[in-house]
Amino acid sequence: MTTVFDFTATTLGGTEKSLVDFRGAVLLIVNTASQCGFTPQYEGLQRLYEDLHGRDFAILGFPCNQFGKQEPGSAREIEEFCRCNYGLGFPLFGKIDVNGESAHPLYKHLKHERPGLFGTERIKWNFTKFLVNREGRAVARYAPHHAPQSLRRPIERLL
């Protein structure tokens, strides 16, 4: 049975990272963008990360430019923006596609495992969130309008 731990992703620094490194942790996987109306959610995501990281919780951010071209920057620009404006400490990966033929395999898996409203697998916008249990299974999918703090209770139940 495939889990998120079976995938790899390229970090913002350009190195391949196996997600097996997160085995045993509860994960929140989010497609992000620096020029989106939901971008201020970075603040709430960072707060969740700081509060829960010591309890084997991690957030994995995947910048995506597929929605309104709201993540046009290079890896360096994305990293600098997130560090300077939000002090992000959770891992950010290289820019990916989440929909279409070129969608990252991790996102193909997540969308299949946790389809959205009416069974659609398509990601509708930036800051869609997948909650993953310690076994690497996506247990919930949250639309962009769900603020990070609203996910605290479901995350804590898995911890």
Q: Where are the domains of the chain?
A: 4-158
Active site (catalytic) residues: 36
Percent of the chain with pLDDT over 90: 94
Q: What is the pLDDT of residue 35?
A: 96
Instruction: Summarize pLDDT for 60-91 with one digit per residue, the tens.
Output: 999 999 999 999 999 999 999 999 999 999 99
Residue 121: which pLDDT band, with cuts at 50, 70 and 90? confident
Mean pLDDT along residues 5-31:
97
CATH topology of domain 4-158: Glutaredoxin (3.40.30)
Q: What is the pTM of this model?
A: 0.96
3-state secondary structure of 93: strand
